[in-house]
Structure 1
Amino acid sequence: MRDQLQQEYQVYLGKEIHDNGLYGFEGNDGRYFLIPYEEGQDDEVYEQRTICEYIRNQGAVQIGVPLFTKEGTLYTQKDNQSYMLVHVPWASSDVSEGEWLTNLHDIGNRYPYQPQQISRYGQWKSLWESKVDAWFEQYKVQWNERPSSSMRRLFIETFPYLEGISENAIQYLQESEQDWRYEQNDQGTFTLKRLHPSMMSQIIWPHTLVYDHPARDLAEWIRYSLLSHGTNAYPAIRTMLDEYERNRPLSVFSWRLIYARLVYPVHLYDVLERTLQAGEGEQNTLEQEYRSLLQQQGQYEKQLKEFFDAVHIDYKRLSIPILDW
């Protein structure tokens, strides 16, 4: 495999390495990893590569850049699967999480083009509605299927709750989009599909990038913190937000988008989507993960009711509505 890749990409590949489930090689100027390439997504992948190269040239964030083969393609074949070879230079970063996110969003604001293939900016409402509709169809199918597995029965029992809370989030978002209190920092920027705090100390991979409102990353970071640390999460959340707002103050519009995204139960949908591709052996693990998140929902909703107070935002003075759970 090494010889094939060296020939196709015209690079030197040394010792084999494994990092976070990825297979790769050490090189003279960094590391090289094989990342699955989803065929049929060429336009999106090429756009992501251009953006990755731009981010790397700004020098503030460690990011992988897919390489072209000597034939000019972005992928190669191994065991009937397509892969990209992604180069990651030797680097390290010791900035805080707030500074890291500020750097990424500032770079995205300076990008001279409007991404088309990976843009989710202004599309939350339609995307959320489509997700609810798709899972409603699943609900109808699984209602009539027999025999019914434990996970299937759990989904049937809980989908009406998911649908209801999703509709609440969509309604809140729709009203928020009519709020004119936005600022320059509300323009689109580079974000991640689903930001996890660990990403801030690791590598950004090309396929994780989307172009969206910066509230996306902030909400997903906060969501993870609330689900992981409960009521103990707020001091770290406030610290991170203070670091971020030092250079990128949040508008009322941004706060409303953050809240709308926190209400929308994407963490529950994410687990459900994984069950669709999971083998029988993984279903039990995913069912337990889903049950655990459902058990946390009551506490999570309570935290959202107290959210603005906990992050020291005077939502009453600013006329920011909150849901009456």
Structure 2
Amino acid sequence: MKGVIKEKFGIQVRQLSVYQTYECFQTPNSFFLIIPVSQFSEAELTELYYMSQYLQEQSDPYVSVFIFTKDGELTFEHEGKSYALLKAVPPVTNRSFSVGAELAEFHRKGRGFPYEVKDAGRIGQWKDLWGKRIDQLEAFWQQKIQMPPHEPFDKKMIESFPYYLGLSENAVQYLVDTELDDKPQVTDSGTICHQRMERNTWSPESLIRIPADWVFDHAARDLAEYMRHTFLYHREDLLNQGFHFLQEYEQITPLSSFSKRLMYSRLLFPLHYFETVEGYYISSETEKHYYEENLDSILADSGRYEQFLNIGEELMNMKSGEVFVPSVTWLGKGTVK
């Protein structure tokens, strides 16, 4: 890799290290990230390039930007895979900041992106994307039922899928009702978001914005995924701080009822269940144990997740006498394990 970077960019690399999941290196004045991009089409990568350029023009101090090869290419090849080289300011640690306020400001800038986004766009597509995912897993579930004997993971998936199918269909219906009953406001226009906004996407150690993590979507995507990740992996923070993250966000950008309902529909959709089941069946034998543990944790937490959804709905309605987020009446009726 060092040799390829010297050849393609004329940059001498002394030592490669790791930042989050990406290889990286430093020169006296700059910090570089080596990003795998084989999963992107050329059109999608070009859109991400323009987004990063735009945010740099908006004086976002943490955005990383694409560096072209000597031949004027966005990508380079190494051992049969495509990569891009991104340049950023060196990471700053121990910086105190509010994730909610920082994300609201990032979304505010992203809404001003002046070009049409097609390949990296997800806005307005949730219903179709969720529908395809539901249909695929339901067809797979039907096959599994007909194919005994089953591994322990198969049995758990077979038994749990009808519940998560019901939750998924509720999410789709909630989304459809939101789009029929409510009107988007100015702040509901598309913006630069993340594929998955997690707790560690932005932290004092990882403030760099990486275009390979982005999609163009409604801001509710990031808000919902951050809350979901907090529930799944940082339960103590959720208990101690509640929905403080949303309050920080709303100090910069108040959320419309449309935003809140969109966010709630996304939390209703059990993406964590789908990703775990799908991940298990496409993983190698050595990786399967991770997905087995994940599924056990999700199933044990199903009652608490319903409780989390109920509390979220109550808190989002609390500020107003008006019901912003209609309740899903059957949630929380079961026992909390």
TM-score by length of 1: 0.91
Q: Which residues in structure 2 correspond to 1:138-149 (within 5 Å)?
A: 138-145=140-147, 148-149=150-151
Once residues 191 and 39 of structure 2 are traced to their aligned partners in structure 1, the CA distance between those partners, rounded to angstroms, is 26
Q: CA deviation at 1:299?
A: 0.8
Q: CA deviation at 1:298?
A: 0.6
Q: Which residues in structure 2 correspond to 1:55-134 (within 5 Å)?
A: 55-60=55-60, 62-92=62-92, 94-134=96-136
Once residues 143 and 70 of structure 2 are traced to their aligned partners in structure 1, the CA distance between those partners, rounded to angstroms, is 48
What corresponds to 2:312 in structure 1?
307
Q: CA deviation at 1:145?
A: 3.9
Residues 38, 82 of structure 1: 8 Å contact kept: yes
**Larger deviation, residues 267-276 vs 91-100:** 91-100
Once residues 276 and 266 of structure 1 are traced to their aligned partners in structure 2, the CA distance between those partners, rounded to angstroms, is 16
Once residues 320 and 126 of structure 2 are traced to their aligned partners in structure 1, the CA distance between those partners, rounded to angstroms, is 23
Once residues 19 and 120 of structure 2 are traced to their aligned partners in structure 1, the CA distance between those partners, rounded to angstroms, is 26
Q: Which residues in structure 2 correspond to 1:1-325 (within 5 Å)?
A: 1-38=1-38, 41-60=41-60, 62-92=62-92, 94-145=96-147, 148-201=150-203, 202=206, 203-230=208-235, 233=238, 236-311=241-316, 313=318, 317-318=322-323, 320-324=325-329, 325=331
Q: CA deviation at 1:312?
A: 5.9
Once residues 307 and 83 of structure 1 are traced to their aligned partners in structure 2, the CA distance between those partners, rounded to angstroms, is 40
Q: Aligned letter for 1:228?
A: Y
Quick one: structure 1 residues 276 and 76, their matched pair in 2 at CA, closer, same or farther if it must change by over 3 Å? farther
Once residues 48 and 35 of structure 1 are traced to their aligned partners in structure 2, the CA distance between those partners, rounded to angstroms, is 13
Quick one: structure 1 residues 260 and 61, their matched pair in 2 at CA, closer, same or farther if it must change by over 3 Å? farther
**Larger deviation, residues 258-267 vs 109-118:** 109-118
Residues 171, 269 of structure 2: 8 Å contact kept: yes
Residues 234, 311 of structure 1: 8 Å contact kept: no
Mark the runs of 5 or more structure 2 residues left unpaired by the alignment: 332-337
Mark the runs of 5 or more structure 1 residues left unpaired by the alignment: none
Name the structure where helix makes up a greater proportion of residues: 1
Q: CA deviation at 1:135?
A: 1.0
Quick one: structure 1 residues 273 and 206, their matched pair in 2 at CA, closer, same or farther if it must change by over 3 Å? farther
Quick one: structure 1 residues 126 and 55, their matched pair in 2 at CA, closer, same or farther if it must change by over 3 Å? same
**Larger deviation, residues 198-207 vs 122-131:** 198-207
Residue identity over aligned pairs, in percent, reads 29
The secondary structure found in structure 2 opposite 1:199 is coil
| RMSD of equivalent CA atoms | 2.2
Residues 192, 209 of structure 1: 8 Å contact kept: yes
TM-score by length of 2: 0.88
Quick one: structure 1 residues 96 and 119, their matched pair in 2 at CA, closer, same or farther if it must change by over 3 Å? same
